[in-house]
């Protein structure tokens, strides 16, 4: 028997991924790709690329070993890279043929890869943390109508640094592994604390300097409008029989939850459950 609408859980991971993909499709192609099914292809390639690029790379750690026998140990990785590149090229060739020649393939790939994955993961983690910290959700809902590397050494030639670890350094953050949204807001409700614009090296979600993420304003607008609407229009509950959200993280190029689906039940604000007795 199908559950009544007010008891059905929504796959928030899928919803938020589709939302961020649609947001990017409009400036790129002036239409969403859901009708054509391209959104699924984009997400498959993004997921595959993030896992591959964020995984172990012999050339990054053991350059000498990677050159042994003409680089034979790196051939499997290179083949996977070429396969991914070929699939991206097929999609972008179709887009370019559809009057999008003014945009280079590299720009398209950067926009979809960095814009979709990172934004929807922030939304997913935000909703999961808010479910685990109901006081923070209540505070957000109460405010919904308002308008409101120091000691780190980075060796020369380093390609990637651990922003995750820097943002959880107990020397810089009290209760560094706890979700505490209030650490960024003072008693007057004003934004305070570390600036995420690249000037405070203890908190670098968008990077810093010349390599800072060019989509920072686009990402903030996308996240804020989605999160504000989810909190403004709905209360949220876990599905029946579910009492815990697994916040275990897995690492690729972006950090994501080990449990791939975040399932939640929305309750419109002011909605009264019907008497089923």
- Give the annotated binding-site residues for heme: 213
The CA-CA-CA angle for residues 26, 31, 34, to 5°, reads: 110
User: 99-112 burial by CB neighbour count: b if 16+ within 10 A, else e?
Assistant: eeeeeeeeebbebb
Binding residue ranges: 213
Give the C-alpha separation, 61 to 79, whole Å: 19
Which among 190, 96, 198, 177 has a CA at the least distance from the CA of 143? 190
Which among 8, 249, 233, 19 has a CA at the least distance from the CA of 128? 249
Find where tokens 């996308």 sit.
222
**Residue 153 CB-density burial (10 A; 0-12 exposed, 13-18 middle, 19+ buried):** exposed
- Side-chain half-sphere CA neighbours of 255 within 13 A: 10
Q: Is-contact 58 65, C-beta < 8 A?
A: yes
Can you spell out the DSSP letters for 112-128? HHHHHHHHHHHHHHHHH
The CA-CA-CA angle for residues 29, 32, 36, to 5°, reads: 100
Return all residues near 207 (Cβ < 8 A) that are at least 6 apart: 163, 198, 213
Which among 49, 42, 13, 207 has a CA at the least distance from the CA of 122? 13
């Amino acid at each position: 028997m199908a559950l009544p609408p007010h008891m059905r859980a929504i796959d928030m991971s899928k919803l938020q991924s589709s939302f961020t993909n649609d947001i990017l499709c409009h400036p790129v192609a002036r239409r969403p790709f859901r009708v054509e099914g391209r959104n699924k292809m984009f997400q498959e390639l993004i997921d595959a690329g993030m896992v591959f690029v964020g995984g172990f790379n012999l050339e990054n750690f053991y350059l000498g070993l990677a050159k042994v026998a003409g680089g034979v140990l790196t051939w499997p990785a290179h083949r996977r890279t070429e396969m991914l590149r070929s699939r991206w090229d097929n999609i972008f060739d179709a887009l370019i043929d559809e009057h999008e020649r003014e945009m280079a393939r590299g720009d398209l790939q950067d926009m979809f890869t960095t814009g979709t994955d990172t934004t929807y993961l922030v939304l997913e983690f935000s909703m999961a943390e808010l479910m685990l910290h109901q006081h923070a959700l209540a505070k957000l809902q109460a405010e919904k109508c308002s308008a409101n590397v120091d000691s780190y050494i980075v060796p020369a030639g380093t390609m990637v640094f651990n922003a995750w670890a820097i943002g959880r350094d107990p020397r810089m953050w009290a209760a560094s592994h706890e979700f505490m949204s209030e650490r960024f807001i003072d008693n007057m409700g004003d934004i305070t604390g570390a600036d995420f614009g690249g000037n405070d090296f203890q908190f670098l979600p968008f990077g810093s300097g010349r390599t800072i993420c060019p989509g920072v304003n686009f990402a903030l607008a996308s996240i804020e409008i989605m999160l504000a609407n989810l909190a403004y229009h709905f209360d949220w509950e876990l599905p029946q029989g579910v009492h815990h959200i697994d916040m275990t993280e897995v690492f690729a190029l972006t950090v994501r939850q080990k449990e791939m689906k975040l399932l939640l039940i929305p309750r419109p604000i002011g909605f009264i459950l019907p008497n089923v007795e």
